[in-house]
Amino acid sequence: MNLKNFEKYVSSNIVNRGKDYYLNDHVINVEEMDDRFYRAEVEGSEYYEVAVRIGTSGEIQFISCDCPFDMEAICKHEVAVLMELRSVLEDTTVNRKSKSSRSLLSEQLNTLSKEQLVSLLTEYALEMREVKNRLDLYFMKSNEIEDMGQYVKIIRTYVKMHSERDGFVTYRNVSRAVVGAEEVLEKAWQAEDKGKYLLAAQISFCVMDEMADLMQSSDDSDGTIGGIIEDCLQLTATLVESADLLSPNEKQTLLHMLLQEAQKSKLGDWDLQLLEIAVELVNDKETRQQWEDCVRKLEQREHGQYENSYFTTKVALLKYHLICQFDGEQSGAQFLQAHMELPDIREMAIREAISQGRFEEALSYAKEGELLDTKKGYPGLVARWKKLRLDIYNSTGGLKLQQQLTEEFAVSGEYEYYLQLKDLYEPEEWPDVYSRVLAALEKERSWRADSMYTKLLIAENETTRLLEYIQRHPGTVVDYYKHLIGQYPSEVYELFEDHIESTMAYASNRKQYKQVCQIIRKLLGAGGRQQGERIMGSLRQRYANRPAFLDELNRIDIL
């Protein structure tokens, strides 16, 4: 998309609304931040920020707007800014070699004396809270515990600045509200880099707590706040990886901090990640007891809410590894036996038995799981145990059982099992098996079975059968025409025309009109230019009273 003719790629409605904004001077404060990278503010129901990068030939390399509009790729604010930029860049009176805002500001500041700079910063810090916060953070001594209060203050100041009157932070303001948290987290990384690991953890947990609170009063649809919490966890994991550099007392303190943080209910599922990180610091009976006490409190906190949940399973796996580490493999095996109701634990027990050649034991665990979950109505888990049973048969050589289960998975729509099934039969036996699989897929009548069915027809070059399938399901012609066009061109074009007509019959808005036009483009791409021109002419006549459809139709490029 080029700045010269970008309107060609944007719907006329958006172009017109954007042009309105442009002509009525809603675009304000356009600035070149870097070479050919621009930021602008657009005044609408609120102020929105648009960022654009323009290539040397006028191509639009990047554009974004922080408005909530997501119905199309380009919004009216972006259109207005592109029109403004085009006007500016085409103006020959503008010196295109002028420096970017950043470079120009740097040069201007360099002309000031030290006294002038101090005076300027002091004045701005007194007048603008954000400037003062940035300076406080920059000069803060990152080695004093009392600094935590100042970090909290900085984080909350940014949140408050970008909150609504009721304290809620809207989607478009989240990225601004977390600037303080991002700056403070950078301080934590700096502390880690200097070997101040406990301080880094303390700052990281400070940020994590504030972001957990913010999540309760914000729209974090794009995961910005959650991403910062994940960054805090990443830093914490990095600190634990460096635990060998800590003294025994420092390790103990770090473990205590981690377990305390994990017990804060506002962290939700992140408490699990803290437990996983903390378990790496468990190296004796005392630290193991501390970790297990923390887990017990978490398990009791919600009075059984975690029973048979993701939490219970993950904690059980962590406990298993600690048991093996401190109490030996036999105790670990007993723990697995006692927790077979958890699917991940059952699978681990089965795999452990397989790896040690205890195939009968592994088979009994798999069959038991299959039976229990069939009664409970959990088909996903039933399939899980059957696949493990198949792994056992693959190791023990039970050919008939291998064939039976592999065919079952192939018919369920898993192509890799179809390939394995082929290898389990002699060439002279295969045609009967292949026919049986196809018949089962035809009978199944589900999207997964249909997908598998067509995949097999393509793999086996069964074009006639594929054509018959598409004739029963005309809408699929756009997916499979490439496999048929060489052998059945007239049938393919006819199917395209039927599909276009039936789709247009139910189309009533621009989105649906675009779908119709996309099918026409596929027809043209399949070599059906004559058919495409004919049907486009017919559609123009029959739908002459639908300007939006005619607008989309006119966008089709017939080469």
Q: pLDDT by residue (tens digit) across 493-545?
A: 999 999 999 999 999 998 899 999 999 999 999 999 999 999 999 999 999 99
Residue that has been written with the tokens 């048969």 in this structure: 393
Rounded to the nearest angstrom, the gap between the alpha carbon of residue 431 and the centroid of all alpha carbons in its chain is 43
pLDDT of residue 154: 87
How many Å apart are CA 157 and CA 226, to the nearest integer? 19
Length of the chain: 559
How many Å apart are CA 354 and CA 280, to the nearest integer? 28
Cα distances (Å, whole numbers) of residue 448 to 180, 413, 456: 48, 6, 12
pLDDT of residue 493: 96
pLDDT of residue 143: 47
Q: Is residue 304's pLDDT more than 80?
A: no
Question: Is the distance from CB of 63 to CB of 52 less than 8 angstroms?
Answer: yes
pLDDT of residue 96: 45
pLDDT of residue 368: 96
Q: Which pairs with CB-CB distance under 8 Å and at least 24 residues apart come from 95-101? A: 98/32, 100/32, 100/33, 100/34, 100/35, 100/37, 101/31, 101/32, 101/33
* Residue with more model confidence, 486 or 138: 486
Q: Is residue 98's pLDDT more than 80?
A: no
Neighbour tally for 65: CB within 10 Å: 23
pLDDT of residue 132: 74
Q: pLDDT by residue (tens digit) across 119-178?
A: 888 887 777 766 777 677 667 654 444 468 888 988 998 898 888 888 899 887 888 899
Edge-first strand listing for the sheet containing 27-34: 27-34, 37-43, 47-54, 60-65
36-40, 201-205, 315-319, 377-381: the lowest-pLDDT one? 36-40
Question: Is the distance from CB of 304 to CB of 288 less than 8 angstroms?
Answer: no
Q: Take residue 446 and report the two structure tokens written for it.
A: 């589900």
Report the mean per-residue pLDDT for the chain.
Answer: 88
Question: Is the distance from CB of 483 to CB of 458 less than 8 angstroms?
Answer: yes
Residue 79: helix, strand or coil by DSSP?
helix
How many Å apart are CA 534 and CA 553, to the nearest integer? 13
Residue type, 106: S
Nearest-Å Rg of the Cα atoms of the chain is 32
Mean pLDDT of 358-377: 95
Q: Is residue 102's pLDDT more than 70?
A: no
Mean pLDDT of 59-69: 87
Residues 6+ apart with CB under 8 A from 348: 317, 320, 336
How many Å apart are CA 510 and CA 531, to the nearest integer? 23
Q: Is residue 301's pLDDT more than 90?
A: no
The confidence band for 335, taking pLDDT boundaries of 50, 70 and 90, is very high
CA angle 433, 437, 443 (to 5 degrees): 145
pLDDT of residue 137: 67
Mean pLDDT of 97-111: 66
The confidence band for 73, taking pLDDT boundaries of 50, 70 and 90, is confident
pLDDT of residue 409: 95
Question: Is the distance from CB of 406 to CB of 424 less than 8 angstroms?
Answer: yes
Q: pLDDT by residue (tens digit) across 210-239?
A: 999 999 999 998 889 999 999 999 999 999
Strand partners, 60: 54
Residue 484 CB burial class (10 angstroms; 0-12, 13-18, ≥19): buried
Q: Take residue 111 and report the two structure tokens written for it.
A: 């002309």
Residue that has been written with the tokens 């630290």 in this structure: 287
The confidence band for 310, taking pLDDT boundaries of 50, 70 and 90, is confident
Q: Which pairs with CB-CB distance under 8 Å and at least 24 residues apart come from 504-511? A: 504/539, 504/543, 507/549, 509/548, 510/11, 510/13, 510/548, 510/549, 510/552
* Residue with more model confidence, 266 or 198: 198
Question: Is the distance from CB of 200 to CB of 189 less than 8 angstroms?
Answer: yes
pLDDT of residue 302: 61
Rounded to the nearest angstrom, the gap between the alpha carbon of residue 335 and the centroid of all alpha carbons in its chain is 36
Residue type, 422: K
Strand partners, 38: 32, 52
pLDDT of residue 309: 75
pLDDT of residue 62: 87
